[in-house]
Structure 1
């Protein structure tokens, strides 16, 4: 059986750290019906003064299924790639339409195998 890790990385526009934390909380609320947030990190994004990085480590009973469902829930226009053991979906506000929250500028939803791989999951 394959063991999976899943995370959501987001860049959000925010005036300060408190606003970035509120944006992270809203992302957690949106993902909660499909995946539990095990860990959350928020930090300034060095490339843009008005943006912060949000990283959510996500847990779900069936991570491959949750990975697909989260794409539908969070946004449209994802650019999906990778292979059977390392999948990613990227969304960008500049080209992919409305996002899950107004502050969102870029999202990366990752799913990758960390353990033994066997039958397809």
Structure 2
């Protein structure tokens, strides 16, 4: 369960992400983990948390991506920081890379699936 939600939680609240990781390593009951996940997902993400999660997701691609994709990653990050694009464009870019490079782990992630529910 955690593997599906972790990047969406990170997108919303890095502190909750860190708390849940700690709890997962200490055999806490699944209900408590579910409550923490729901709490995090109900929080409004900050610009900083979105950029942090975007960079974490990019980590799956930075060594295998083309120079053009690397430049686009940087441009989208800067454009988001400057209010030129929305967070949806960041997720759309990551989704394209997930599909292109067949990253199964991320294909199962809620952050990708919620942004593109019919794919």
| Higher share in helix | 2
With normalisation by structure 2, the TM-score equals 0.34
With normalisation by structure 1, the TM-score equals 0.33
| Higher share in strand | 1
